[in-house]
Structure 1
Amino acid sequence: MPSAKESAAARLLALRSLLEVATRAVALQPAAEQIIGACAQPGEVPARVARQGGRVASDYCRLHGWALDLIGDADRASLEFRVAQLLHYHSDMIDTCLKLAFPRFRSPRLEQRRLALRGLGEPARTLRDAQAALALWIHDLEQTGGGAPPP
């Protein structure tokens, strides 16, 4: 059975890794916004948007999977769980935009939804805030050897 010191070290390592995942996700946001904007333009969406969007969506999906591996059975109200949720949102948002831009069957209703796309929205800012909160929490843990998670 690991000691309290080993458990704290493992927890800190997992949090640092989650911070790296969140940092990568935030760095992808400009590309994600560009894809969403391209999907929302009137007219035919270029095929390169589908390729680029597929890569960005895959990156977010991969980051989400890594986050789930890192958070284990974290409480649903925890910062760690929130980061994982936000990564899932980012992945789903890109996927939805691509489905609207490249539908199997076109309809006026789907076209209206596609043209109404406006970006990642509030969850993008929330992810950036969560990244900053995670960095502060890690800093506190490193300085004090303990500490409660931020709200």
Structure 2
Amino acid sequence: MAAGSGFRLDPATAEVLRLNTLLEIVVRAVALQDQADEVIVACALPGDTSYEVARRGRKVAGEYGRLSGWADDLCADDAPESLPARVGGLVRYHLGMLDTAVKLAFPRYRTEGLERRRMAMTGLGEPARALRVQELALRSWIAELGGA
């Protein structure tokens, strides 16, 4: 029963609602990909990284952090190989890449190995495309359930 509403959602309607909410998370995560790539590439440039890049990175990472938490809440009971769980994992990956890029650009100490790793970062890579593919799969699944 929906809290305080006096009515019950049938399981099929509840599932469509959950998946539509997850889709909104994915849409926002995909929309942030260009900004995330810009930050990652800026963090990988030779020389000192501007603190403006860190501020932008923190802002985008904060968005991915919220999206990741919401996705985790929505997918807590899903099997690890399920579409919702894969979506949650890809959003967490985006957050992790941003976090890594910023940490490598502003390390507590610099080593040659860390610098090589930092300079090798080129963006979100294949997981960004995978998230866009998962968005299409999620839209298709929602349509099959009659929710679109």
Report the TM-score, using the length of structure 2 for normalisation.
0.92
How much is the aligned-residue C-alpha RMSD, in angstroms? 1.9
Structure 1: how far apart are the matches of 2:104 and 2:9? 50
| Partner residue, 2:5 | none
Distance in 2 (alpha carbons) for counterparts of 1:87 and 1:103: 24
1:105 aligns with 2:109: yes
2:123 is aligned, of 114, 119, 125, to: 119
- Deviation string, structure 1 residues 82-129 (Cα, Å, up to 9, x no partner): 000001100000000000000011111111111111111110000000
SS in 2 for 1:76: coil
Query: 1:112 & 1:67 partners in 2: Cα distance?
Result: 33
**1:47-86 superposed matches below 5 A:** 47-86=51-90
- Is 1:12 the equivalent of 2:20? no
Q: How many residues align?
A: 144
Query: Shift of the alpha carbon at 1:5?
Result: 6.9
- Which residue number in structure 1 is paired with residue 32 of structure 2? 28
**1:72 positional shift:** 2.8
CA distance in 2, matches of 1:70, 1:90: 18
SS in 2 for 1:142: coil
Question: One-letter code of the match for 2:53?
Answer: V
**1:91 maps to what in 2?**
95
Task: For structure 1, list consecutive stretches of 5 or more residues without a partner in the other structure.
Answer: 144-151
CA distance in 2, matches of 1:61, 1:26: 14
Q: For the residues of structure 2 that align with 1:114 and 1:126, how far apart are their CA atoms?
A: 23
In structure 2, what residue type is equivalent to 1:27? A
SS in 2 for 1:129: helix
Q: Report the Cα distance in structure 1 between the residues aligned to 2:113 and 2:126, rounded to whole angstroms.
A: 24
Q: What letter corresponds to residue 139 of structure 1 in structure 2?
A: A
Shift of 1:68: 1.0
Quick one: distance in 2 between partners of 1:8 and 1:121?
Answer: 35
